[in-house]
Amino acid sequence: MERRHLRYWTAIALLAAFAAIVTARYAKLASEGPSPASAKPPEVVRGSILDRNGRPLAVDTNLYNIAVWRPELDKELWTEDAAELERLLELEPGSVRRTVETSRADFMYAVKRIPASRALEVQELKRRRGLSGFIVEKVHGRLYPERTLASHVVGFVGNDHYGLGGIEAKYENELAPRAAAGENGGIVYGNQVILTLDADAQYLLERIARKAWQDNGAEAVMLLAQRASTGEILAYVSMPDFDPNDFLAYPETAWSDRPALYAYEPGSVFKVFSMAGIMELGAIDERSAFYCDGAYERVVSPEETIRIRCLGNHGRVTVTEILKYSCNSGAGQASDTVSALDFYDILREFGFGMRTGLPLPGESPGSLRDPKTWSLRSKPTIAMGQELLVTAAQMTAAAGAIANGGVLMKPRLVSRVLAPDGSTVSEEPAQPVRRVLSPETARKILTAMEAAAGEAGTGRRAAVSGVRLAVKTGTAQMIDPGTGRYSDKDFIASCLGIFPADAPEIVLYLAIVKPRGESTFGGRIAAPVIGEAADSLITLYGLARGSTPTLSHSGRIVLTKPAPVQIGPTMPDLIGTPKRLLLPLLTRTDLELSIEGDGYVVSQDPPPGTPVHPGAKIRLVLE
C-alpha cells in the first residue's frame, strides 16, 4: 500500500515539474518574440533638440524594420524569398535564412532601421512575389540634419532609441517621457529641448577649430564661446567630431566630449586666475613689483633651493608684466605673499577642483589637491599652471568671472524645455554661483590681459582690428605616462580671449592638444585662432569695430544677423552662407539659380568677383 502511495506522489511530482518546465519555456519564448497580434508598447515620438534660434539639431523620423513571422512563411519557397530580400537590401548572402533557422522564436528581425525608400522596395517585392511571413514594421528613427554640428553636445541614440550621449542622454526623460505613456499603448510626444548654442556661431568656430586641428596635426582641439554675464554657451567645439547619424562609423575616441571630460594641466593661462586670486586676497595690487632674473628661486634650507626657470630675464614686473610676458618668476614670487590654504580657497572659489554643472554625462571635476598634501614647491608651481588638472569648461566658466566683474556663473547649455504644444515645461535662467572677485580686481586683471594682446605681449597674434581684446596664452608640458615625467614633445597650446575688453561680453577659450606642427607655443599657434574666432563672432553679432558693442543686457544676446544675400552686378563670396539666407534669391526671375543640398555653401559657380548678367546660371552646393 505504501509503495502504491509513493508511486502515486512521485508521478504527481514529475507531472508538476514537467508543467513548470513547459510554463517556463513558454514564458521564455514569449519574451524572445511576441506575435504580431500581441499588444504593442506605447509609441514614443522623441522630442526635438533645437538651437537658441529654433534650428533643429535632432528630430524624430520614420525608419522601418523587416521582421519574420515563422507561422506564415511559405514552407517551400521561404528560402528563395529570403535570398531575394538579401539581394534587395544588400545583406550578407544567407543571413536572413540563418536568422530563421537558428532562432527558437516565431517572431524575429531580419534587418532593422532601414529608410523609407528601402522599405517601399520591400513592399514592392512582397507584392510582386507574394511574400508571406515577412513584415514591414514602422519604427521611429533619429535624424541629425546638421550632421557633425555640435555632435558632442547633442549626442546620439542607440537602436533602442534611448540617448547614449550628450543632451540625448542627459535629457532622456524630457525628450522621451515613456513613464507618461502608461501600459495601454497610444502615442506619446516628447518635449523639445532648446539649447543656448547658436548654430551659426557653432558652425563658424567648428570650421576654425577643424583647420587648427588639421594644420597643427594635433590629437584634439577644444574651443568654447560663452556669454560672460549669463553663462550661456554659444559654441562648444571638440575635435575630432563625429556624425551622430552614423556614430558607429567613427572610433570611440571621436565620441569623447573633451571640454567636459578631459582634465589636464593648464599651463600659463592659469596665471590669470592665480594673479586675480592673490590680488583679491589683498596680498598684492597692480603696483606691487617683483624682480625676474630668469628664474624663480626660493631657499628652503642650506641644502635645498627651489628653482623654476623663466622664459626670459624680465627685470621689474608687476601683475601687468607677469601676464604680458607670462613671467614664471613673477608669478612664483606673487604666490609667496599668500598662505597655501588661502591660495587653495580662492582657486576653489573660481570652481577648480569641482564640476561646473554642465548638463552633459560624466563631467570631470579636474583636480586641485588639498594643501595639506602640497610640497614647498606646489604653491609657486600651481601659480604657473602645473600640479593641478582643469577642464576646458572650467577654464571658460572661471574666465567669465573675470569678464563680468567678478561673479562665477553656472555654465548653461539648455535654456528651456517646451511641451509638444509649445508651452513651457521648465526654464533654466542665468544662475550666479558666487562672487569670486570684486569688480575692481576683475577690471585690473582685464587691463593686464589687454596688455598681453599688445605689442611684445605673448598674445599679440590674437589682436583684432578695431576691437579691444584681453588675452592670455599658455604652453603646458604634458606628463609622459611611460616615465611619469614631463614630456619634451607633448604639449597643450592654449589661449584665453575676452572681448570687448572695455565692456566684456564673450569669453573664448582654446586648447590644442599635442600639436605636431612647426610650433607648440600657445602664443604662436593658439593666439591667432582666438583672434580669428573673435573676429568671426564680432561680425556675426554685429559688434562695432570700435568699443561699442551692439549687445543687449537682458540676459539674451540680440543677434544682429546678416541680411539675406543679394546678388548684384558681380558675384559675391557665398562660401559658408546658411541656406536660409539664400532662399530670397529663388524669387529672382532674371537669374537661373540652382541650390543643391542643405546646410551651408561649400562651393559656388561662378566664383566671387565674376560679372553677373541677366540670365546668368548660378550653382550653389550646400553641405
Q: Residues for the chain: how many in total?
A: 623
The pLDDT score that the predictor gives to residue 555 is 37
The pLDDT score that the predictor gives to residue 563 is 58
DSSP state of 283: S
Q: Where are the alpha helices (DSSP H) in 42-192?
A: 78-89, 95-102, 116-129, 151-154, 166-170, 172-175
367-395 per-position pLDDT tens digit: 999 999 999 999 999 999 999 999 999 99
Contacts of 310 (CB under 8 A, 6+ apart): 292, 294, 295, 296, 327, 328, 329
- pLDDT at 583 > cutoff 50: yes
- pLDDT at 478 > cutoff 90: yes
316-347 per-position pLDDT tens digit: 999 999 999 999 999 999 999 999 999 999 99
Cα→Cα distances 382→82, 323, 393, 416, 441, Å: 66, 15, 19, 38, 20
The pLDDT score that the predictor gives to residue 423 is 92
The pLDDT score that the predictor gives to residue 557 is 42
The mean predicted confidence, pLDDT, of the chain is: 87
Q: At what angle do helices 78-89 and 116-129 cross, to 10 degrees?
A: 150
Which position has the grid cell 523620423? Answer: 61
Contacts of 242 (CB under 8 A, 6+ apart): 148, 151, 250, 254, 255
45: part of which helix (H) or strand (E)? strand 43-45
- Where does 232-347 show beta strands of DSSP type E? 233-239, 290-292, 295-301, 304-309, 315-317
Mean pLDDT of 91-106: 91
- Whole-model pTM: value is 0.77
Contact of 84 with 229, CB cutoff 8 Å: no
HSE, CB side, 13 Å, CA atoms: give it for residue 242: 22
Cα→Cα distances 8→5, 17, 94, Å: 5, 14, 51
Query: CA-to-CA distance for 200 and 343, rounded, in angstroms?
Result: 40
541-581 per-position pLDDT tens digit: 988 776 443 443 333 444 444 556 788 888 888 887 877 67
Say which amino acid occupies 415: S
Reported confidence tier of residue 181, pLDDT bands at 50, 70, 90: low
Query: CA-to-CA distance for 462 and 535, rounded, in angstroms?
Result: 10
Mean pLDDT of 53-57: 92
211-263 per-position pLDDT tens digit: 999 999 999 999 999 999 999 999 999 999 999 988 988 999 999 999 999 99
Contact of 466 with 259, CB cutoff 8 Å: no
* Grid cell listed for 366: 579636474
Q: How far is CA 183 from the centre of its chain?
A: 36
